């Protein structure tokens, strides 16, 4: 892996290695982190419905 690769490029490569369950878990984690830490995620996503 080239050290000059962007975070997006690295993320895309890592995402290819995950199965569907792992991808869903990772996406849920990222959404929760965005909501908890006020990052670029503007909408509030919760798992309680």
The continuous run of DSSP H or E covering 31 comes out as: helix 20-37
Evaluated on CA atoms 3, 4, 10, 12, the torsion sign reads negative
pLDDT of residue 49: 45
- The encoded tokens of residue 32 equal 């929760």
Q: In this predicted model, what pLDDT tens digit does every residue of 1-49 receive, in sequence order?
A: 556 788 888 888 989 999 999 999 988 998 888 876 665 545 554 555 4
Half-sphere exposure of 13 (CA within 13 A, CB side): 7
Q: What is the pLDDT of residue 40?
A: 52
Q: Give the start-to-end residue ranges of the domains of the chain.
A: 8-34
Strands (E), the chain: none
């Amino acid at each position: 892996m080239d050290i000059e690769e962007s975070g997006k490029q690295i993320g895309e490569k890592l995402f290819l290695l995950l199965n569907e369950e792992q991808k869903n878990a990772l996406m849920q984690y990222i959404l929760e982190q965005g909501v908890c830490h006020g990052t670029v995620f503007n909408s509030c996503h919760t798992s309680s419905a």
